[in-house]
């Protein structure tokens, strides 16, 4: 646990008692604060009471009397589509609002660091797609190269639930827009931006607000090094905002599919080969084609970002390459489930939007595609240019018929449920084809989470695999 600093003897309110809220309350108490907690759910309140936490109904008038700060869980809207009433009450009472990410950055460094030979470091990863894989891959590379490391944030453990840093340790954080949007302090040593595509638009009042939330990681305090995916205009904008001129190697540009030129520091992948360039010449390269845990151009972008982040810490190309070879991949993200009679089953349930599904469709040459679910804003038009590898789509979800109608140019069968879709795809599949779950939609019409949807696919695939 990271005891929270700066609130000793003060009352701090915590709104939302999920993983991050509970951890924040415990960490505040460990640092000498007096946390008072609230959640709209009676079940969550009862669990907090049983754990010894002090409940306070933050919805009542006067609830913020004597409160020094309000800590908000990431799932609670603080501005759009409308401010949560408790947050609005905190504003009216002039009570600062923060989240567990802000608490982490103000509390991570301690006086113990004065005795360390190597100062601990924080690498923070954000972006629309690939941030989980990039963060997990960085962590894997560090561990495989003998560097102590912890993985936390939107993946792994909550940021305040990790252990205090050891000499030379690296903490790798995956941060969502919900987390970066509200944190009052963000000072990573290395910040990574993977890419940007439309997502969570209602929460951020459009694409501009969504991008602004991501950009805060690079504007609040400023990292010593920045690894920036420049395949979209937003990434190029961030990179330009950070540099002092040509050749500024504090910024490492990353791309998948285009060669990056210039005198600066860049890492890019083309046709399955990663290349690192500095001052106009190549200084490192990796053949990514044989790395089973990183299939497809989108994962090659993740590999470039992870490679660049690890290079900023002094790791050599050969050590990074060896670690990548043993990277197993993450569940529900281009996850190899099994093979039978030349047919491969791949679970990419995390492909919950059009852009991530389009990337998955470009990773394999011949696909039996299982898709569908709760459609996101904007429709499926962005997928249509990427259906060339799809032999047939097998559509699930409550909106399956409408989803199938939008897939113009591709054969589509309305299956409704996962068991039907997997059985039909497996029966139709020929040697050399991939049965791919890449839904391009949220899961909540049929499942509690994308993980539950992916687990169902795995169960049905194992039936097909025998």
* Residue pLDDT, tens place only, 120-139: 999 999 999 899 999 999 99
pLDDT, tens digit, 9 for 90 and up, residues 208-221: 999 999 999 999 88
pLDDT, tens digit, 9 for 90 and up, residues 147-177: 999 999 999 889 999 999 999 999 999 999 9
Strands 149-153 and 281-287: unpaired
What's the CATH fold of domain 111-325? 3.40.1190
11-98: CATH homologous superfamily?
NAD(P)-binding Rossmann-like Domain (3.40.50.720)
Q: Has 145 been labeled as part of a binding site?
A: no
Cα–Cα distances (Å) from 297 to 70, 294, 301, 367, in that order, read: 42, 9, 6, 16
Cα–Cα distances (Å) from 395 to 44, 157, 410, in that order, read: 36, 34, 12
Band of pLDDT at residue 329, cut at 50, 70 and 90: confident
Tell me if 108 sits within 8 A of 165, measured CB to CB: yes
pLDDT, tens digit, 9 for 90 and up, residues 302-328: 999 999 999 999 999 999 999 999 998
In this prediction, residue 38 carries a pLDDT of 98
Distance CA 311, CA 307 (A): 6
Q: Has 130 been labeled as part of a binding site?
A: yes
Q: What is the DSSP letter of 316?
A: -
Three-state DSSP at 282 gives strand
Distance CA 373, CA 170 (A): 38
Tell me if 278 sits within 8 A of 267, measured CB to CB: no
pLDDT, tens digit, 9 for 90 and up, residues 410-425: 999 999 999 999 999 9
In this prediction, residue 348 carries a pLDDT of 95
Q: Has 187 been labeled as part of a binding site?
A: no
pTM for the full model? 0.88
Distance CA 24, CA 17 (A): 9
Q: Has 127 been labeled as part of a binding site?
A: yes
Our measurement of the distance from residue 8's CA atom to the centroid of its chain's CA atoms, rounded to an integer in Å, reads 32
Q: Has 344 been labeled as part of a binding site?
A: no
Per-domain residue ranges of the chain: 11-98, 111-325, 335-465
- Checking if the pLDDT of 72 tops 80, the result is yes
Strands 335-340 and 170-174: unpaired
- Checking if the pLDDT of 378 tops 80, the result is no
Q: Has 285 been labeled as part of a binding site?
A: no
Q: Closest Cα to residue 329, out of 286, 370, 360?
A: 360
Strands 335-340 and 343-347: antiparallel
pLDDT, tens digit, 9 for 90 and up, residues 237-261: 999 999 999 889 999 999 998 999 9
- Checking if the pLDDT of 409 tops 90, the result is no
Q: Using a pLDDT cut of 90, give the percent of the chain over it.
A: 90
Architecture of domain 335-465 in this structure: Alpha-Beta Complex (3.90)
Q: Has 271 been labeled as part of a binding site?
A: no
């Amino acid at each position: 646990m990271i005891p929270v600093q700066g609130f000793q003897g003060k009352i701090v309110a915590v709104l939302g008692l999920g993983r991050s809220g509970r951890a924040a309350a415990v960490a505040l108490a460990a640092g000498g604060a007096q946390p008072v907690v609230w959640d709209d759910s009676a079940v969550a309140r009862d669990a907090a009471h049983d754990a010894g936490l002090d409940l306070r109904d933050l919805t009542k008038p006067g609830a913020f009397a004597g409160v020094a700060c309000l800590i908000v869980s990431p799932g609670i809207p603080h501005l759009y589509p409308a401010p949560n009433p408790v947050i609005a009450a905190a504003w009216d009472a002039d009570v600062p609002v923060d989240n567990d990410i802000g608490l982490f950055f103000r509390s991570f460094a301690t006086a113990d660091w004065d005795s360390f030979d190597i100062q601990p470091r924080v690498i923070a990863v954000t972006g629309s797609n690939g941030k989980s894989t990039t963060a997990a891959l960085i962590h894997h590379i560090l561990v495989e190269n003998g560097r102590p490391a912890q993985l936390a944030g939107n993946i792994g453990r909550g940021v305040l639930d990790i252990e205090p840093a050891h000499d030379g340790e690296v903490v790798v954080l995956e941060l969502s827009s919900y987390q970066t949007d509200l944190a009052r302090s963000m000072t990573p040593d290395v910040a990574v931006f993977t890419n940007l595509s439309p997502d969570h638009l209602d929460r951020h009042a459009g694409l501009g607000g969504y991008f602004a939330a991501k950009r805060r990681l690079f504007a609040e305090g400023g990292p010593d090094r920045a690894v920036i995916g420049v395949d979209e205009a937003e990434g190029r904008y961030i990179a330009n905002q950070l540099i002092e001129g040509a050749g500024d190697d504090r910024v490492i540009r990353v791309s998948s599919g285009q060669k990056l030129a210039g005198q600066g520091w860049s890492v890019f992948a083309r046709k399955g080969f990663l290349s690192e360039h500095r001052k106009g010449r190549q200084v490192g390269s990796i053949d990514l084609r044989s790395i089973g845990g990183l299939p497809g151009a989108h994962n090659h972008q993740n590999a470039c970002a992870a490679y660049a982040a690890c290079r900023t810490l002094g790791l050599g190309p050969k050590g990074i390459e060896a670690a990548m070879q043993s990277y197993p991949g993450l569940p529900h993200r281009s996850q190899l489930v099994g093979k039978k009679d030349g047919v491969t089953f791949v679970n990419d349930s995390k492909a919950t939007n059009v852009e991530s599904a389009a990337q998955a469709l470009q990773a394999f040459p011949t696909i039996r595609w299982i898709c569908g679910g709760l459609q996101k804003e904007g429709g499926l038009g962005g997928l249509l240019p990427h259906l060339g590898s799809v032999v047939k789509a097998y559509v699930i979800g409550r909106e399956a018929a409408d989803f199938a109608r939008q897939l113009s140019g591709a054969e589509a069968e309305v299956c409704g449920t996962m068991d039907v879709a997997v059985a039909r795809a497996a029966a139709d599949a020929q040697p050399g084809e991939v049965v791919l779950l890449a839904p391009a939609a949220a899961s909540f019409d049929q499942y509690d989470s994308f993980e539950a949807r992916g687990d169902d696919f795995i169960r049905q695939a194992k039936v097909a695999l025998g």
